[in-house]
């Protein structure tokens, strides 16, 4: 048995009007593995608890198999929850912990056959006689999962179940969770702040920030087509390079994006995405480059979509299978303020920019409803209050991934080739404008 779960503009408010979740809509298909991803305090656990019935929904609807479920008790939803803290009964053996919910549901039945079958699935048959204090962290998490699986629920709700484990064990149990949930076939909603878990486990990933859904898509599309600069910066290791640029589109010359002392010259004829950048003429934008979108190579080795720049080596980070090179290209990094903060902080307004059009103001209001501006662009000192003093001093402005056999030293000037097929451009509100968004911006509220 599996279950479809739908959230229709669900919100959660606490005392003093604090909004933990703001108008989140999700449609989770039967048997789907959906990951709720975001920084600490973004509302992902609150969403999970509203699905489970452990938190009351302030606004909106929770639908289970298409039926209104806001008023259903947790016991009536046929869902099993796996917690971060294992939550095992210390006076019960592994067999007792796995069988406890079965005894509560059917007091007259012997739970042993289902307990034994679950233990075989998880490979913990030899642990059935042990108590929680006799188990390692990974073994306790397996027992907690076994207690959930034995009930044959219609959905698994997992709240950061691996965050208390070491990295090696997390990788192993991640594969186990993927295998087991697909064998059982139950709908799974998994909460994590670890992007590696989200990308490797989820059929789809829902990225949250400040209680607001930023993007919902497959792991591949969330990485390759981030909806805004927050998603781009949150997904990917190392973090995407974000540089402040200015679009230059003269009528009688080649179009380019200025990056401080250098520029990315857009090849002609312009592709459709680059043609659309003409409307940003003279405006400051945010250029996004993944570390694999830039390579160390001379101009003579350029492919059709690559353009040359250069950089000064500031730091070489040896990773074993690869090397991360930190470079200074004379560009200025764009700031994603308080990326890991529990909730986005309001940016200080200084005075209204008289150059803003009516559409600019409408878009500004629409973006503020999606957790506020995510990029600080200090245009002429009168747009937003910069908060650079809160951030550590950057090492260079560009990180490039390369092979470990390359010999680089600090202070070397190296030629670079930028692949414009993997170029992201975001506007001053942090919304992606190239590649062109799949949908027009929603200005409704």
Mean pLDDT, rounded, for 165-191: 86
Last residue of a domain, one of 166, 191, 224: 224
Q: Are residues 295 and 215 in the same domain?
A: no
Are the C-beta atoms of residues 338 and 345 closer than 8 Å to each other?
yes
**0.85 exceeded by the pTM?**
no
Per-residue model confidence (pLDDT) at position 369? 47
**Which tokens is 3 given?**
């279950």
Q: Are residues 195 and 330 in the same domain?
A: no
The model's pLDDT over 16-75, given as tens digits with 9 standing for 90+, comes to 778 899 999 999 999 999 999 999 889 999 999 999 999 999 999 999 999 999 999 998
- Report yes or no on 444 lying in a domain: no
Per-residue model confidence (pLDDT) at position 355? 58
Asked if the model's pLDDT at residue 5 lies above 80, the reply is: yes
C-alpha 247/C-alpha 278 separation (Å) is: 8
How are beta strands 19-28 and 5-13 bridged, if at all?
Answer: antiparallel
Per-residue model confidence (pLDDT) at position 126? 92
Q: Are residues 336 and 351 in the same domain?
A: yes
Domain count, the chain: 2
Last residue of a domain, one of 203, 224, 245: 224
Q: Are residues 241 and 113 in the same domain?
A: no
Mean pLDDT, rounded, for 340-362: 52
Distances (CA, A) of 192 to 40, 132, 184, 237, 327: 9, 24, 21, 16, 32
Per-residue model confidence (pLDDT) at position 354? 57
Per-residue model confidence (pLDDT) at position 252? 79
Asked if the model's pLDDT at residue 392 lies above 80, the reply is: no
Last residue of a domain, one of 207, 224, 241: 224
């Amino acid at each position: 048995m599996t279950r479809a779960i739908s959230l229709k503009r669900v919100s959660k408010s606490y005392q003093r009007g604090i909004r933990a979740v703001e108008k989140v809509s999700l449609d989770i298909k039967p048997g789907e593995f959906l990951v709720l991803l975001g920084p600490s305090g973004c509302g992902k656990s609150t969403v999970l608890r509203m699905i489970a019935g452990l938190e009351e929904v302030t606004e909106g609807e929770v639908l289970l198999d298409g039926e209104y479920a806001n008023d259903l008790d947790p016991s009536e939803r046929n869902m099993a929850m796996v917690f971060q803290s294992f939550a095992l009964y210390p006076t019960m053996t592994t067999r007792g912990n796995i069988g406890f919910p079965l005894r509560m549901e059917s007091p007259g039945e012997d739970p042993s056959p289902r307990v034994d079958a679950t233990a075989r699935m998880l490979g913990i048959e030899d642990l059935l006689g042990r108590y929680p204090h006799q188990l390692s962290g990974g073994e306790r998490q397996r027992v907690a999962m076994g207690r959930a699986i034995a009930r044959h629920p219609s959905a698994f709700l997992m709240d950061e179940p691996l965050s208390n484990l070491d990295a090696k064990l997390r990788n192993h149990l991640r594969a186990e969770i993927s295998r087991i949930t697909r064998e059982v076939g139950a709908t799974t909603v998994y909460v994590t702040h670890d992007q590696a878990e989200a990308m490797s486990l989820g059929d789809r990933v829902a990225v949250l920030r400040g209680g607001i859904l930023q993007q919902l898509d497959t792991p591949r599309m969330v990485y390759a087509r981030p909806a805004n600069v927050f998603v781009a910066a949150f997904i990917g290791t190392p973090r995407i390079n974000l540089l402040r640029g200015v679009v230059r589109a003269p009528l009688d010359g080649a179009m380019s994006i200025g990056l401080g002392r250098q520029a990315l010259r857009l090849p002609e004829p312009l592709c459709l995405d680059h043609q659309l950048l003409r409307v940003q003429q003279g405006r400051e934008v945010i250029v996004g480059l993944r570390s694999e979108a830039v390579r160390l190579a001379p101009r003579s080795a350029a492919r059709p979509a690559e353009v040359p720049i250069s950089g000064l080596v500031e730091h070489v980070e040896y990773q074993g299978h690869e090397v991360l090179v930190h470079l200074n290209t004379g560009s200025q990094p764009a700031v994603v303020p308080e990326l890991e903060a529990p909730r986005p902080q309001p940016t200080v307004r200084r005075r209204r920019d008289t150059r803003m059009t009516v559409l600019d103001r409408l878009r500004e209001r629409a973006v503020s409803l999606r957790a506020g501006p995510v990029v600080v662009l200090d245009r002429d000192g009168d747009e937003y209050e910069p908060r650079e003093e809160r951030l550590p001093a950057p090492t260079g402005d560009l990180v490039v991934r390369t092979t470990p056999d390359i010999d680089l030293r600090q202070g070397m000037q190296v030629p670079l080739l930028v692949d414009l097929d993997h170029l992201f451009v975001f506007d001053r509100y942090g919304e992606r404008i190239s590649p062109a968004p799949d949908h027009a911006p929603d200005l409704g509220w």
